Amino acid sequence: MLFSILCKSHADRNVYPSAGVLFVHVLEREYFKGEFPPYPKAGDSSNDPITFNTNLKGYPDRPGWLRYIQRTSHSDGVLYGSPTAEHVGKPTIIEITAYNKRTFETARHNLVINIMSTEEFPLPYQAEFFIKNMNVEEMLASEVLGDFLGAVKNVWQPERLNAINITSALDRGGRVPLPINDLKEGVYVMVGADVQFSSCLREVETPQNQLRCSQEMEPVISCDKKFRAQFHIDWCKISLVDITKVVPVHSNHPDLGTGVLPDIGEYNPPSESLKSRDYFADFLITLAVPSAIALVLFIILGYSMCCRREGVIQLVHHSSIQKSTKEIRSMSKNREISWPLSTLPVFHPVSGEVVPPIHPDSYETTSMPLMQTQPNLQSQIQIPQQQSSGDNYCMSTFRRLEVNGIPEERKVAEALNL
């Protein structure tokens, strides 16, 4: 495991990590503060918010094996990762740009990573632990990672033990924890050793513990107490790999070549003079042909309707239906129908006079209501009505009856009882 801290020097910084061993590089804010010019306004320059941007020189991002994390602008940034044997002998230049968010100044330095080969790579026995109560930047601290390796070495007891890689649980598809009860994201730590796994590490493979893991229960591990004081390990997610028994899978990668196109001579663009094109054939296909087909269909339809016997019969039949409809409608206007009972002559209850119907003969009978109302009375006649005592008279109202436009009056001798 290699830890490096960027020193205060204007020259490029060179580091020499080993392949297959965890590489951690800390970007200290205190170093870059001295690179920024003094700020004229009052303020605490020691607490300036500074962020970092890292990328491979000439490219917008970092190499695939190298990760970067910085929680806040008031904390140091960390570059970490595990280079492989494919990167041995290839210097990797990382451009580090620091941004001061208070003064809006920038500072840039280069970090040259020279990956070295090692005889111990790769270690044959590798174990990956999932620590639930840690974030990745907390685990990358040299003191914390040293304590974890010491606990693993006490349980495993190998001759050589190295940290191979550290991965945040968020990079494995984990969820961001809720900001309550000081919950952590969790981190995966892979270590490698030169001896076989201890009996304590293999306890998780027993059927009893496998059953407890399937039921989402904590397995019973005898050596868990050696980690519990500082590290809460999820033993159901431990992974034990013996790379000496892993069957290698060889894939045929295509030859990517040099990336340079072959020399095929100079480029000859097309000439400026373009040949004329005749669009008459296109016109016939798109307009003339459909129009001709539509005209033929129209002629066939007209001949069938006007010249053929069946078409003539249909036209005559349609015309006769229209004439019959008009005739029926004209007859319905002049038809005589029986009057409703509400329109027949009635006698006045006091005078005995016949009350004429409400509507005349010219009234539209189709919309005539069956029951008439008193406010609709049109012609009213007032007649005197005898009081119960004395010779005084009052006026009574009744309607005059007309049947089919002919007034019809009937006198009742005893109506007034004179």
Query: For 113-172, how does the pLDDT look when each residue is reduced to its tens digit (9 = 90+)?
Result: 999 887 766 788 999 999 999 999 999 998 999 999 999 999 998 888 999 999 999 988
Count of CB atoms situated within 10 Å of the CB of 128:
17
Query: How many Cα neighbours within 13 Å face the side chain of 308?
Result: 10
Q: What is the pLDDT of residue 372?
A: 46
Long-range contacts of 394-397 (CB under 8 A, 24+ apart): 396/348, 396/350, 396/351
Q: What is the CA radius of gyration of the chain?
A: 53
Query: For 275-286, how does the pLDDT look when each residue is reduced to its tens digit (9 = 90+)?
Result: 778 888 888 888
| Residue reference for tokens 């040293």 | 146
Beta strands 23-27; 2-5: pairing state: parallel
With 0.75 as the threshold, say if the pTM is over it: no
Distance CA 13, CA 32 (A): 14
Cα dihedral 150, 155, 161, 163 sign: negative
Distance CA 187, CA 190 (A): 10
Query: For 338-374, how does the pLDDT look when each residue is reduced to its tens digit (9 = 90+)?
Result: 555 555 555 565 665 666 655 555 555 545 454 444 4
List beta partners, residue 126. Answer: 192, 241
| Residue reference for tokens 């190998």 | 158
Q: What is the pLDDT of residue 281?
A: 84
**Closest Cα partner for 131 from 153, 114, 146, 148?**
148
Query: For 59-89, how does the pLDDT look when each residue is reduced to its tens digit (9 = 90+)?
Result: 989 998 999 999 898 899 999 999 888 888 8
Q: How confident is the model at residue 235 (pLDDT cuts 50, 70, 90)?
A: very high
Query: For 96-108, how does the pLDDT look when each residue is reduced to its tens digit (9 = 90+)?
Result: 999 988 888 888 8
Residue pair 7/31 in contact by the 8 Å Cβ criterion: yes
Distance CA 286, CA 281 (A): 9
